[in-house]
Amino acid sequence: MTDNPSNDQLTFQDPVTRFPDITPPKQDQPEPGLDQELVPQTDRGQHSYRGTGRLEGRKALITGADSGIGAAVAIAFAREGADVALSYLPAEEEDAQEIKSFIEGSGRRAILLPGDISDRDFCEELVERAVRELGGLDALVNNAGRQIAVEDIADLPDEQWTATFDTNIHAIYRISRAAVKHMPPGSTIVNTTSIQAYKPSPHLLDYASTKAAINNFTKGLGQMLASKGIRVNAVAPGPIWTPLQVSDGQPKDALPKFGKSTPLGRAGQPTELAPAFVFLTSPESSYVIGETLNVNGGTPSP
C-alpha cells in the first residue's frame, strides 16, 4: 500500500496525502504482535528512506527494533551509515529477520539480540553483547514498550501494572546505566515517550504513567550526562499504525478510527518517526539536550 520508493522523506510533498488515511479493520494479535500480520501493512521506510551520511560509522543499540517505530529507526540508522544491534522478544524473530535483511541490504551490519528487557539481568547482558558484537556503542535508542488497554481500574491487575513499569521505564534506567559506561563523548541516548505523557487516555493508566516518567527521566539524565558529552533526548509519537495497537493496545472498537482525530486527519506511519531519531542521534543536534520532539500529526503539546 505505501511501498512507493519515490515517497522518500526528502521529496517536497503534502503531509496530508503523503500516506493514505487508513481505516484498519478490527483485528487481534497476541502480545507482542507481528508487523507481518498487521492489516493494513505499515511503511517502515524499507523501500523509501534515503540516507544522507548523517550517522556514518556509528554503533547503535535499538530496543523494540523488530517492528513499528523501532524497525523504521533501525532501517533509517543503517541507511545513514550505522551498524545496528536489534533488541526484541524471541516471539518476534520473524519480524526481526526481515529488518535484518533490510539493514544488510543497505550494506550495514545487523546484530540480533532477542530477550526480555523486563528481566533486570538481561538488560545488562543485552548491553554487554551489543558492545562486544558492534565493537563499541555510541548510540542507544530506548524504544521498546508494552501497552495494554484496560477500561476500569478495578480490572487493572498488579501484575500488569508492574510488567508495564518493568518494560517501559525500569528497563530504560537499567539499559542506560549499563550503556553509559561504554559510551565515548559524542554518544547519544534517545527514549521513546508518547503524547500519552501529557494527554493520558483513561484506559492507559499504567502505560501513560510510564511515558510521563520517561519524559522526566530524559530531562534529568540529560543534565547528568551533558558534561560527559553524552546527549539524552526523547521522541513523543502520536497515533502511529504499529502492531502495538492490535495486541490489546487499543479497545477493539477504536481501531477503525485510529489517528483520524489528529489535525492532519490520519494515523502516522512508522517511517515518519525516523527523521526525529536520526536528528537527535546525529552530531547536528549537538546543543539539543533533554528535549522531547513531538511527532504527532499536529496535536498541541507542551
Give me the active site residues, please.
207
Residues in CB range of 275: below 8 A, 6 or more apart: 9, 76
Q: Which residue is nearest to ligand NAD (CB)?
A: 68
Q: Which stretch binds ligand NAD (CB under 6 A): 18-26, 176-184, 232-240, 283-291?
A: 232-240
State the minimum distance, in angstroms, from the CB of residue 14 to ligand NAD. 22
Amino acid identity at 29 = Q
Closer to ligand NAD by CB, 32 or 290: give it.
32
* Binds 194: which of Mg ion, ligand NAD, none (CB < 5-8 Å by kind): ligand NAD
- Nine-digit cell string for 200: 493520558
Residues paired with 112 in a beta bridge: 86
From candidates 43, 66, 206, 248, binder to Mg ion by CB under 5 A: 66
46, 215, 233, 242: which one binds ligand NAD (CB under 6 A) = 242
As a whole number of angstroms, the distance between CA 124 and CA 226 comes to 23
Residue 59's beta-bridge partner residues?
83
Q: Using CB under 6 A, which of 51, 145, 275, 290 touches ligand NAD?
A: 145
Binding Mg ion (rule: CB under 5 A), the pick from 2, 7, 67, 147 is 67
Q: Which residue is it, cell 521506510?
A: 45
CA atoms within 13 A on the CB side of 4: 10
Which string of x and - marks every residue 87-126 that binds Mg ion (by CB under 5 A)?
-----x----------------------------------
CA 163 to chain centre: 18
246 binds ligand NAD (CB under 6 A): no
Subset of 43-72 contacting ligand NAD (CB under 6 A): 63-64, 66-70
Handedness of CA 151, 153, 155, 158 (dihedral sign): positive
Is the CB of residue 183 less than 8 Å from the CB of residue 127? no
Nearer to ligand NAD, 6 or 281 (CB): 281
Distance CA 257, CA 277 (A): 27
Pick 33 or 275: Cβ nearer Mg ion: 33
Contact call for residue 192 and ligand NAD (CB under 6 A): yes
Q: Is 74 exposed, middle or buried (0-12, 13-18, 19+ CB in 10 A)?
A: buried
Size of interface with ligand NAD, in residues (CB under 6 A): 30
Stretch that binds ligand NAD, among 15-23, 84-92, 132-140, 223-231 (CB under 6 A): 84-92
Under a CB-based contact definition with an 8 Å cutoff, are residues 79 and 281 in contact? Answer: no
Cell for 149? 488497554
Looking at the DSSP bridge assignments, the partners of residue 25 are none
Closest CA to 46 of 7, 94, 14: 7
Among 55, 110, 144, 189, binds ligand NAD (CB under 6 A): 144
Residue 206 binds to Mg ion (criterion: CB under 5 A): no
User: Minimum distance from CB of 101 to Mg ion (Å)?
Assistant: 16
Question: What residues line the site for ligand NAD (CB under 6 A)?
Answer: 32-33, 63-64, 66-70, 88-89, 92, 116-118, 143-147, 167, 192, 194, 237, 239-240, 242-245
